[in-house]
Amino acid sequence: MTAARTVYITRKARFSAAHRYHVADWRPERNREVFGASNNPFGHGHNYDVEVTVAGEVEPETGMVLNLREIDGIVAEEVVSRLDHRHLNEELPEWRARVPTTENLAIDIWQRLAPRLDRKQARLYRVRVYESPDLYAEYLGEKE
């Protein structure tokens, strides 16, 4: 995968979800101080954009790093069908005790996609999550 001619291909997907920032162990005053309005009890929501970047060598015959239809299928299963139209804290077990910040969402989506996208000549390179046009988080996996 340390190919001489690495190309990075990025696909954007979208989902709409509600979330709330809250640490159960903290007193209400501290939750409010750290998280502000994001601590409001019933949550609020966003249109999220997710950019999934796969890096690899271009397959000479097809001209592709990885067939886009394959990427789309995996992203639909692991990201869109899982998160779209959900209240993350209320409906998804992984967010019951973990704050669904943009940072944590990027890590979580990476961990779901990486095992399914890694190939002999391609691998997941980066997950970028936009909470809004003005805020995004990126995760590139663990570095040894």
Which spans of this chain sit near its own copies (rule: CB under 8 A)? 2, 4-14, 16-19, 21, 23, 25, 34-38, 40-47, 58, 61-65, 67-69, 84-87, 90-91, 98-104, 106-107, 132-140, 142-144
Q: Please say which residue, 103 or 118, places its beta carbon nearer to its own copies.
A: 103
Q: Please say which residue, 15 or 78, places its beta carbon nearer to its own copies.
A: 15
Q: Please say which residue, 14 or 118, places its beta carbon nearer to its own copies.
A: 14
Give the nearest distance from C-beta 51 to its own copies in angstroms: 9
Give the nearest distance from C-beta 75 to its own copies in angstroms: 11
Quick one: three-class SS letters along the chain? Answer: CCCCCEEEEEEEEEEEEEECCCCCCCCHHHHHHHHHHHHCCCCEEEEEEEEEEEEEECECCCCECCCHHHHHHHHHHHHHHHHCCEEHHHHCHHHCCCCCCHHHHHHHHHHHHHHHHCCCCEEEEEEEEEEECCEEEEECCCCC
Give the nearest distance from C-beta 4 to its own copies in angstroms: 5
How many CA atoms lie within 13 Å of 110's alpha carbon, on the beta-carbon side? 19
Q: Please say which residue, 100 or 113, places its beta carbon nearer to its own copies.
A: 100
Give the nearest distance from C-beta 63 to its own copies in angstroms: 4
Regarding beta strands 6-19 and 86-87, do their DSSP bridges make them parallel or antiparallel, or are they unpaired? Answer: parallel
Q: Please say which residue, 118 or 132, places its beta carbon nearer to its own copies.
A: 132
Give the nearest distance from C-beta 117 to its own copies in angstroms: 16
